[in-house]
Amino acid sequence: MKVCLMTKTLRISDDAHQKLTTMLSEITAQTMKMQTYTDIIENLLSTSVNLPPELLNETKTFIENNRNLGYISREEFIRDAIRTQLRYKKGQCTIIEVPQEDYELAQQALEDLGTEFLSVDDFINQQIRSLLQKYQEYSKQKEDYDR
């Protein structure tokens, strides 16, 4: 397959041609304007990020081995990872590191003890909500007392 770009011819595989055509359709739908292969390639060059092949392969393997997480493509996984990292870096959330062994043992404890908690995450979130509710009540009582 040959694609002409501003008086230059670029030889691409049929697979690359199919991907470009798909991207052409997607970007045309998003922008509601007709796009050309040149537009798509310029868009790719201005918005692409180069990642080491090992990292891309690790991501691909992770997605394949963890289909239950719902990721369909590397791009979707990477977008989600960037969004999560941005929330963290902006101070919109905090990431708490728990050793995997402790996390799994806590999950087992929740199940064996027949608690109401669905998961360790659920347990932590409910504990935080309960603490905040108690603190809100304490603050109100303190405010009333100080008056």
| Per-residue pLDDT tens over the stretch 117-126 | 989 999 999 9
Run of H or E residues at 10: strand 8-11
Rounded Cα–Cα distance for residues 78 and 7 (Å)? 35
| Per-residue pLDDT, 136 | 95
| Per-residue pLDDT, 35 | 79
| Per-residue pLDDT, 8 | 60
| Per-residue pLDDT tens over the stretch 32-67 | 888 787 777 787 777 778 889 999 999 999 999 999
| Per-residue pLDDT tens over the stretch 13-25 | 888 888 888 888 8
Average pLDDT, the chain: 87
Q: Is 109 left (phi over 0), alpha (psi -120 to 50) or beta?
A: alpha
